[in-house]
Amino acid sequence: MGLFEKLFGKRELPPTQLVGCCLEELAAGFPFPLTAHHGDTVEAEILAMRKSPAPSRGLPVIIGDYEHAIRHIDMLEEPYSMDEQLAALSKLDFPRWVEEQRTEHEDEDPSEQLKVYPKGVTPMTALSVGRDYQGKARPEVFIAYVPTDDPTLIPLHLRFGDWNACPSPFIHAAAARSWAPRFGARILTMTGDVIEYEVSRPPQSEAEAMELAWQQYLYCPDIVDQGVGSVATLAKALQTSSRWYFWWD
């Protein structure tokens, strides 16, 4: 049981949940300022916030709905050293780390990753966080204001990772630092199990897209293995996508 449940008990959301109905409860257990938004408008609102930042408030990042916000609170309870994470980040070469992950996939048939599945090449042009699995807009999505002006450090502040196959926070930060200058990639969403990026410069060539797709697959295998079906399919989608999506089980 997490700290939030200890303080407030297990919460079942009413079927007619309205924007702001859970904000006061969550704010009592969350270490950073929060605001509540409707799923239909949250993407436009965070993009506007990023264009006109308020440094005194912190850097905005979408943390998901009520359940994901509770998961964040639980993650923030875990033992953690920001100094250790920053030290590990300073030493990590992300492309080299990615190559080290290939050893876990040595038994796979590489030709399978070269197939292209037409259903998987549809580009991502919008964040998924505002909608549920049935495509219905979520009535309440939260934005947290993280005490940094560097979006690559969001994973460190939210302590995202180090569970199941999800990499450590400093590895997520290293990925963000590697992709930002090349692709104009910025983290906009970090829920309990999802990271989403805004991308201003998608890969321009097939070779660059394939290199990026392999990096993303080795960083987050589920986006291929439980998603588009192959690295080549992901590469096709990345060439026309303005958003990136990562998910860990």
d(CA 238, CA 89): 26
The bridge status of strand 34-37 relative to strand 59-64 is unpaired
The least confident of 13-27, 58-72, 174-188 is: 13-27
- Confirm if 156 and 73 have CB atoms less than 8 A apart: no
Taking 70 as the threshold, does the pLDDT of residue 15 lie above it?
no
Rounded to an integer, what distance in angstroms lies between the CA atom of residue 202 and that of residue 6? Answer: 45
Q: Model pTM?
A: 0.89
Q: What pLDDT was estimated at residue 20?
A: 62
Range name among 4-8, 63-67, 113-117, 195-199 with the lowest pLDDT average: 4-8
Write down the mean pLDDT value for the chain.
Answer: 90
Give the pLDDT mean for 226-241.
Answer: 97
- 199, 241 contact by CB (below 8 A): yes
